[in-house]
Amino acid sequence: FVVTALTAWAAAGLALLLASLCTSRRQVLTLGNFFVLVLSAIGGSMVPRFLMPGWLQDIGWATPNTWALEAYDGVVRIGRPLEAIWLALAILFAAGFVGWLGARLAARRFEQL
């Protein structure tokens, strides 16, 4: 439950950030699809990361997809306690918070117009 909640939090925060930076619905849809596909491919959601070259695996650690997959893998397949995946959970929380904060700051530009 915790992993799912924090994954949803990260996705929502980053989606809010993207939506607040765009100026039209079409722009949100186009950029949203682009970023989802790129982050999913690099993060290991489309192709297992162990099949990727080393440099691409290293870049994958910058995506929330990788951290979500690592957290789910740690809990479901390996059966680790939450203490063993605290770093993945913290990064997912941070991604959501940074996305939310960025969205809030970007939305302020419209409040002052």
Q: How far apart are CA 65 and CA 42, in angstroms?
A: 8
- 85 CB-near residues (< 8 Å, 6+ apart): 3, 70, 71, 74, 75
**What does pTM read for this prediction?**
0.84
Q: How far apart are CA 19 and CA 69, in angstroms?
A: 24
Cβ count near 63 (within 10 Å): 20
Would you write out the chain's pLDDT as a tens digit for each of its 113 residues? 888 999 999 999 999 999 999 889 999 999 999 999 998 888 888 888 889 999 999 998 999 999 998 898 888 877 677 777 899 999 999 999 999 999 999 888 777 66
